Structure 1
């Protein structure tokens, strides 16, 4: 079953408590808390409050999105205080094609240490599928996971800026069943700066969501990159997403 939710960074101008209230009213069931701008490392009291607010609103915590290539004790303590089961990280700061051997093994070592550290907090580590990192394609992500070789490290997929259906289907086939969640959004020709309503890609997402749900495992479908970062877009895209999920 797919669990619909939203990433707080998609509504950067709003406080987390407001986002939680909006998400609950719209019919969403999960939240990803972004370190930037909503929960910086070390804000343990804030993390605990957010966890309570989510529980009261009936929202599951999908993950704590750090935006960082390394996990510090502060980040892990913050995720634990939040109650998130997963911490998202980036796989270095160079693409799989441009990274040299030294840079690659430094990133692999860093990710292995992240996975070991997170396991001590009973947290999984999700490597974000991002351009400009070692996890910039399904193939490079699988290679990276094999090289790190730690069961606590999992992939986290999002579509490229101008996705085509067949390559995205292939990505999911390669990464399943390890995927626990994906980000869902629509962009125009200018990429991440050109956000569209989710319904703009009705040719893409219903097929991918059905593929993700086919084996019956629980996974998260998280709204991100909302048009104008607005409450109206959250409402509209939630309606669209819930309709596609049936």
Structure 2
């Protein structure tokens, strides 16, 4: 089982590229998912970030984009950034409405857009859906149905615990998503968005690592939203998770 520990740069929006890379290195991480909102807003900047990541001995894990797959087209600028960055994967969002608030027409629109997005990205770039409220991946059933309806080999999903979701239920979701899993966003919130040390939800994260190891497939586990946006909290959480994995 190959688990790569990495960092989402959005965790440290207050830091420049060199600061993000330094934080990742101090925490003993192997790569970065670079966010398109602050650190990689355009292809020229993304090329510079690619070179800086390589020079720091890190890997570009993915582009964390805020592209919303709905309406017609519009993905090419995001794909241009991903290619300049050398990203093997792009994180996108399955529309901007939750499954309960989406009409059949809206769902069809999102599916069509995701197919076009996947076809534009292939070959070489994987499209990963954020597992998040207020999108069509806000529930397990809606996510599984959407992935089957899109039907593209280079479209998958991230997993993260839903807000206020009990450990057992979150782990059930992770197991169900394994065939399409492309990455994990790793953080410890409880209740709602109160940020805790990762160890505070030991049952969840020890269980998640066991599920991933048993699955036997490579996966990137990327730290996100540490307490107080502090690099020291990242070092603590990364050290704890490495102990779990060992």
TM range (shorter): over 0.9
Residue 47 of structure 2: aligned partner:
48
CA displacement, residues 118-143 of structure 1 (integer Å, 9 cap, x when unaligned): 115x2111011010110112221110
Contact 2:158 2:183 in 1 (8 A): yes
Residue 131 of structure 2: aligned partner:
129
Instruction: Give the SS at the match of 1:160.
Output: coil
C-alpha displacement at 1:177, in angstroms? 3.0
Higher alpha-carbon deviation: 125-134 or 55-64 = 55-64
Aligned with residue 152 of structure 1, among 147, 151, 154: 154
Residue 31 of structure 2: aligned partner:
30
In the TM superposition, 1:6-85 aligns within 5 A as 6-40=7-41, 43-70=42-69, 72-85=75-88
Higher alpha-carbon deviation: 104-113 or 163-172 = 163-172
Contact 1:3 1:221 in 2 (8 A): yes
TM-score by length of 2: 0.93
C-alpha displacement at 1:183, in angstroms? 0.6
Contact 1:3 1:219 in 2 (8 A): yes
C-alpha displacement at 1:233, in angstroms? 1.3
Residue 203 of structure 1: aligned partner:
203
C-alpha displacement at 1:216, in angstroms? 2.5
Structure 2: which 5+ runs fail to align?
none
- What is the aligned-residue RMSD (CA, Å)? 1.4
Aligned with residue 116 of structure 2, among 113, 120, 124: 113
Residue 237 of structure 2: aligned partner:
237
C-alpha displacement at 1:181, in angstroms? 1.2
TM-score by length of 1: 0.93
Structure 1: which 5+ runs fail to align?
none
